[in-house]
Amino acid sequence: MPERPLRENLVLLLSIVAHVSKQTQQQALERLGLGVREHVVLAAISEGAPTQLAIARKAGLDKSTLIPVLDHLERHELIEKHPDPHDRRARIVTVTAAGHRALATSARTVGQIEDDLLSDLTPPEQEQLRTLLQRIVEGRMAQPSVPGSCL
């Protein structure tokens, strides 16, 4: 297989996009009292991930990264943790009314940033990019064999 030029290196391209996207979102979300991880965790819970294990899987975080995020959200009264009546080792996590308001605001902010970052693409190209990335993430990478958090 011929060597690809550096501008076609998948790891480099994805890393640049991820780095710029995350840093831009982090700066904007910090003005709202959140970060990228907090936004993603609130979204995961609101989309139906009720337990810490489910939240970790949906948000792409390992337990050692997730727990401080949950603690931060709980201190700011954006989530509540309750014992799981079916498993005393597990905790059920719910988003509070304040958490739903914070998520609505952060989601608008993230949407505006993503629109700006993807503005070199047409709307159909933006949708295609998301669809292709989702297919990769939900396909071969659905069960990551690499330890650690992606955020």
109-138 mean pLDDT: 96
Find the DSSP H helices in 76-138: 97-117, 123-138
Q: How many CB atoms lie within 10 A of CB 22?
A: 15
Q: Which tens digits make up the pLDDT trace of 11-42?
A: 999 999 999 999 999 999 999 999 999 999 99
Distance CA 54, CA 45 (A): 9
Instruction: Check residue 6 and report its DSSP letter.
Output: G
Q: What is the pTM of this model?
A: 0.90
Q: Which tens digits make up the pLDDT trace of 74-83?
A: 999 999 999 9
| pLDDT of res. 41 | 97
CATH of 11-138, one of 3.30.70.360, 1.10.10.10, 2.40.50.140, 1.10.3720.10: 1.10.10.10
What backbone phi and psi angles, to 5 degrees, belong to 3? Answer: -70, 135
Residue 150's pLDDT band (cuts 50, 70, 90):
confident
Whether residue 60 contacts residue 140, with contact meaning beta carbons closer than 8 Å, is answered with: no
